[in-house]
């Protein structure tokens, strides 16, 4: 059963976010586990009360043993109480861990899932501008930081504050207010020093995080383009570019480590002075006869209980500040605005043989340069319309707009008379199958990549799709068959093999609308004819948009649109366009001449 993910996409405020805002956005993920959190806090309180009882029992035990012991006077009950108190403290501490473990793991998982879903919901514009390595690094650090923040808060900061409060109250109740005053002064001085120095140090950690993100982005980008690096013999250039970010991270880390030493020395000095003052007060009480040796042991035990958590408290405050920095970057990804959104009243598309229409569509990737200038055409149900033209004429932009990777600037794209913007993106994309010009595969098996067209498909259906795409025999010839790994971005396969996998994937989806975006561009002539015949067969009865450069692949289309510089300059079937002796005819003659001149 899936757990609903809260929608936390709010506007990003200028500058660093306040801690309260960062934490408030985490609250919706913790709300479902309020019961577990309450039980964990109760276990924490019981553990601290049990821990508080240990020195008291120890005091009574020491004072009792001050009497000459006999077998009858051995304080068995006190010994048992001492053991029970220590055991109870450990049991309740572990119970807290058992109860709260699910909260930490699940909340971190749901935040990372929320960010992952949000990244997939962003427009193509965001993904064209992102640095993959940097984004994944921010998500990884942010997810870990959430677990760390909850862990440190519940297991160190809150327990320490509770312990200091309880010990101070006990010292005031049993002895005099001077113990509490010394403890309070030490605590205030400790917190003031820790907060001041940590706030100063945070800027060095931020610089380190930013440099780490840049270094990760640079490394991933370089490794993904391994072949290009080798083609141009630029290994040293890539290493230097990576090292630039590493140097920045090194400098930030060195400053962070040096200032950490300053923080630790100050904290230790404050704790040492406070402990010495309290021990002096307790020892003086023993000397004047106001306190017993057991009282001295009690005060010493409480001081030891407080001193160690106080040292951790300073470290934890620093770690919490660093965690908040990482979580802030995670929220920054959630703050990226969705350029293309479903309207609240959006309907699901239901169609079998749709009518597709572009109605005076204008579009620009950059407002300073319009790409499409009032495009108008229609693809009737079950018909095939081809779009041809030189590179940069705007052909592939049509497919991106049909998939709603972007919204049109003006005009409309309709399916069965319904504006795409009035339909849910999921239903529109579910009705469309595409064989793209640049086929990128997942680093998984061939079977997985074909089945990606319809994840619920059986092995038999996957193989039928591969046969239809004329790649089944090739797959069977591989040592691992359909379980063969294709490598990063499918680099273990040739361009033609990748394209056939893409065709099989689109066939398996069995969509109502088909888009072939240069679907046979990576195939040789013989393979192209075989695949083209299969594409023509599967296009029967479907509304099909073919985007092509090779005119030989679109000769049988019901209508051919010729685009140039974002305009439709000619339209008609193959014979009519040849007879017109315009742009299409000129392109046809050039391609025929190139084909005849090519070596056989």
Cβ burial of 490 (10 Å; 0-12, 13-18, 19+) is buried
Rounded CA-CA distance 143/108 in Å is 5
Rounded CA-CA distance 246/394 in Å is 41
Quote the tokens at residue 82: 């001492």
**What are phi and psi for residue 373, nearest 5 degrees?**
-115, 85
Q: Is 378 helix (H, G, I), strand (E, B) or coil?
A: strand
**Taking the mean position of all CA atoms in its chain, how far away is CA 120?**
10
Quote the tokens at residue 377: 């055409």
Cβ burial of 261 (10 Å; 0-12, 13-18, 19+) is exposed
Length in residues, the chain: 600
CATH of domain 23-334: 1.20.1560.10
Report whether 197 contacts 320 (CB < 8 A). no
Rounded CA-CA distance 40/149 in Å is 16
Nearest to 212 by CA among 323, 115, 138: 138
Do the strands 432-435 and 384-389 form a parallel or antiparallel pair, or are they unpaired? Answer: unpaired
Q: Hunting for tokens 């794209």 — which residue is that? A: 413
Report whether 339 contacts 126 (CB < 8 A). yes
Q: What per-residue string of b and e applies to 528-543 under the rule 16 or more CB within 10 Å gives b?
A: beebbebbeebbeebb
Looking at domain 349-431+511-600, its CATH architecture is 3-Layer(aba) Sandwich (3.40)
pTM: 0.63
Q: Which residues of the chain have pLDDT under 70?
A: 1-19, 58-59, 61-79, 82, 123, 127-134, 227, 231-232, 304-315, 318, 520-528, 530-531, 594-600
Sheet of 418-419: strand order equals 372-379, 356-363, 410-415, 418-419
pLDDT tens figures, 540-598: 778 889 988 888 888 888 899 999 888 999 999 989 999 999 888 988 888 888 666 65
Helix, strand and coil percent figures for the chain, each rounded to 5: 65, 10, 25
Q: Is 411 helix (H, G, I), strand (E, B) or coil?
A: strand
Do the strands 384-389 and 543-548 form a parallel or antiparallel pair, or are they unpaired? Answer: parallel
**Taking the mean position of all CA atoms in its chain, how far away is CA 208?**
20
Q: Hunting for tokens 């861990």 — which residue is that? A: 97
Do the strands 410-415 and 418-419 form a parallel or antiparallel pair, or are they unpaired? Answer: antiparallel
Report whether 44 contacts 92 (CB < 8 A). yes
Gyration radius (Cα) of the chain, Å: 35
> Virtual CA dihedral for 137, 139, 140, 145, nearest 10 degrees?
120
Please provide the DSSP assignment of 433-489 as one string.
EEE-SS----SSBHHHHHHTTSTT--HHHHHHHHHHTT-HHHHHHSTTGGG-B--GG
Nearest to 362 by CA among 403, 327, 407, 402: 407
The 3 state secondary structure assigned to 241-300 is HHHHHHHHHHHHHHHHHHHHHHHHHHHHHHHHHHHHHHHHHHHHHHHCCCCCHHHHHHHH
Cβ burial of 288 (10 Å; 0-12, 13-18, 19+) is exposed
549 secondary structure, DSSP code: S
Is the backbone of residue 346 left (phi > 0), alpha (psi -120 to 50) or beta?
beta
What separation in angstroms does the CA of 33 have from each of 8, 99, 151, 320, 588? 18, 10, 15, 21, 67
Predicted pLDDT at 130: 65
Report whether 401 contacts 120 (CB < 8 A). no
Instruction: Report the interhelical angle of 76-121 vs 293-334 (nearest 10°).
Output: 10
Q: What per-residue string of b and e applies to 75-104 under the rule 16 or more CB within 10 Å gives b?
A: beebeebbeebbebbeebbebbeebbeebb
Domain boundaries defined on the chain: 23-334, 349-431+511-600, 442-508
Cβ burial of 400 (10 Å; 0-12, 13-18, 19+) is middle
For residue 131, the number of C-alpha atoms closer than 13 Å in the C-beta half-sphere is 17
Predicted pLDDT at 361: 92
Do the strands 356-363 and 410-415 form a parallel or antiparallel pair, or are they unpaired? Answer: antiparallel
Quote the tokens at residue 8: 């936390």
């Amino acid at each position: 059963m899936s757990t609903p993910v809260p929608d936390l996409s709010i506007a990003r405020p200028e500058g660093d976010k306040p801690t309260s805002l960062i934490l408030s956005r985490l609250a919706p993920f913790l709300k479902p586990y309020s019961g577990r959190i309450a039980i964990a806090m109760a276990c924490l309180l019981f553990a601290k009360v049990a821990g508080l009882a240990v020195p008291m029992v120890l005091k009574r035990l020491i004072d009792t043993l001050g009497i000459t012991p006999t077998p009858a006077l051995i304080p068995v009950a006190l010994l048992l109480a001492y053991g029970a108190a220590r055991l109870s403290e450990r049991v309740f501490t572990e119970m807290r861990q058992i109860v709260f473990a699910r909260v930490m793991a699940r909340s971190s998982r749901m935040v990372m899932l929320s960010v992952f879903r949000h990244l997939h919901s962003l427009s193509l514009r965001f993904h064209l501008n992102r640095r993959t390595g940097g984004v994944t690094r921010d998500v990884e650090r942010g997810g870990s930081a959430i677990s760390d923040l909850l862990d440190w808060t519940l297991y160190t900061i809150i327990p320490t504050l509770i312990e200091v409060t309880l010990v101070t109250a006990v010292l005031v109740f049993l002895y005099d207010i001077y113990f509490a005053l010394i403890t309070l002064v030490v605590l205030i001085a400790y917190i003031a020093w820790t907060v001041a120095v940590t706030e100063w140090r945070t800027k060095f950690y931020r610089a380190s995080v930013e440099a780490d993100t840049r270094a990760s982005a640079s490394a991933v980008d370089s490794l993904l383009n391994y072949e290009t690096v080798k083609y141009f013999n630029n290994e040293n250039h890539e290493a230097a570019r990576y090292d630039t970010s590493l140097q920045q991270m090194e400098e930030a880390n060195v400053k962070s480590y040096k200032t950490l030493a300053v923080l630790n020395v100050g904290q230790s000095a404050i704790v040492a002075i406070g402990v010495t003052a309290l021990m002096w007060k307790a020892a003086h009480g023993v000397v004047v006869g106001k306190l017993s040796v057991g009282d001295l042991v009690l005060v010493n035990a409480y001081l030891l209980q407080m001193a160690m958590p106080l040292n951790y408290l300073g470290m934890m405050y620093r770690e919490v500040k660093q965690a908040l920095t990482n979580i802030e970057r995670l929220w920054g990804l959630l703050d990226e605005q969705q350029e293309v959104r479903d309207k609240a009243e959006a309907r699901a598309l239901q169609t079998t043989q749709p009518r597709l229409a572009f109605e005076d569509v204008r579009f620009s990737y950059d407002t300073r340069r319009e790409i499409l200038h009032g495009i108008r055409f229609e693809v009737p149900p079950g018909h095939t319309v081809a779009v041809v033209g030189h590179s940069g004429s705007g052909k592939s932009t049509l497919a991106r707009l049909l998939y709603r990777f972007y919204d049109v600037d003006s005009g409309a794209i309709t399916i069965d008379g319904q504006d795409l913007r009035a339909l849910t993106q999921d239903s529109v994309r579910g009705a469309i199958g595409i064989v793209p010009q640049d086929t990128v595969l997942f680093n998984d098996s061939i079977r997985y990549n074909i089945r990606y067209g319809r994840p619920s498909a059986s092995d038999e259906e996957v193989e039928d799709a591969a046969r239809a795409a004329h790649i089944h025999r090739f797959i069977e010839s591989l040592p691992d068959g359909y379980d063969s790994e294709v490598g990063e971005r499918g680099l273990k396969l040739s361009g033609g093999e990748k394209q056939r996998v893409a065709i099989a994937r689109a066939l398996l989806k069995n969509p109502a609308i088909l888009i072939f975006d240069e679907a046979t561009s990576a195939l040789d002539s013989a393979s192209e004819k075989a695949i083209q015949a299969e594409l023509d067969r599967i296009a029967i009865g479907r509304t099909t948009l073919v985007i092509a450069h090779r005119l030989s692949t679109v000769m049988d289309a019901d209508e051919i649109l010729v685009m140039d510089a974002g305009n439709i300059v000619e339209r008609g079937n193959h014979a009519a366009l040849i007879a017109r002796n315009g742009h299409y005819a000129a392109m046809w003659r050039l391609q025929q001449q190139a084909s005849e001149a090519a070596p056989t």
